Amino acid sequence: MARIEQVRPEELRFEEGAFLVRLARRAVEYYFETGKKLEPPEDTPERLWRPGAAFVTIQVFRSYEVRELRGCIGYVEAVKPLVEAVIDVALQSAFEDPRFPPLRREELPMVTFEVSVLGPLEELPRDPESRPRSFEIGRHGLVARRGWFQGLLLPEVPVEYLWDEETFLAETCVKAGMEPSCWLDPETEFYRFSGRIWRERDPETRVIEERDLREELRRRLGVAQG
């Protein structure tokens, strides 16, 4: 039997990304209403039944530019249909992120949902000097692995903190529970992945938008330099 190819972020239409954001919120609402996991809707676009990797991020909305993390969990690799993966990680982000208490129902009107769809992992060179030149800020996320240690940072993280390439590598090491210098060790595996991100503009209107990380980076750099 032929292996079904993973959904790549660049394949998705805007409407499919928006569908996933609405699905993430609905999965959490449905759990509050019934105590059960939502089944994939009948109107799920066909492409979303293919295997896919995704993260759901829940944030407390302070303003369009200021949002505070409330939960973020996902699948690094495509282990199940994308539509099912988003339902799973929406619930895990809301109720199982160990950094936060479970989301309360009364918080729903104050948070926004964001879905990141990830591409396949691509290994970076083992030569440490080549690693900072092997990915692009605003386009790629990173995964660090060594033994039992593993950590991932999504593409938007270095944009939001204005990190350069070496800082991004070091912070991925820290996320994996290793020393910041672990990227200088050829035994530490590093992978990059592309991603696309859809989110609610605000909790009230819930209008869906796709984030343009390169434009966000240019804007943030302009503010920082100004």
Q: How confident is the model over 42-91, as pLDDT tens digits?
A: 999 999 999 999 999 999 999 988 999 999 999 999 999 999 999 999 99
Question: What confidence score (pLDDT) does residue 207 get?
Answer: 94
Q: Are 87 and 126 in the same domain?
A: no
- How long is the chain? 226
Q: Are 138 and 185 in the same domain?
A: yes
Cβ–Cβ under 8 Å, residues 135 and 165: yes
- Note whether residue 185 is domain-resident: yes
Q: Are 89 and 14 in the same domain?
A: yes
Spatial distance between the Cα atoms of 192 and 118, rounded to a whole number of angstroms: 10
- Note whether residue 226 is domain-resident: no
- Note whether residue 84 is domain-resident: yes
Question: What confidence score (pLDDT) does residue 21 get?
Answer: 98
Q: Residue 224 — pLDDT band, cuts 50, 70, 90?
A: low
Measured from the Cβ of residue 187, the count of other Cβ atoms closer than 10 Å reads 8
- Note whether residue 1 is domain-resident: no
* Helix residue ranges per DSSP H, 115-164: 156-161
Question: What confidence score (pLDDT) does residue 4 get?
Answer: 80
Q: Are 131 and 37 in the same domain?
A: no
Q: Are 187 and 208 in the same domain?
A: no
Query: In angstroms, what CA-CA distances link 63 with 68, 202, 218?
Result: 10, 8, 20
Spatial distance between the Cα atoms of 6 and 208, rounded to a whole number of angstroms: 24
- Note whether residue 3 is domain-resident: no
Domain residues for 102?
9-119+196-214
pTM recorded for the entire structure: 0.92
Q: Residue 221 — pLDDT band, cuts 50, 70, 90?
A: confident
Number of domains present in the structure of the chain: 2
Q: Are 109 and 129 in the same domain?
A: no
Q: Residue 222 — pLDDT band, cuts 50, 70, 90?
A: confident
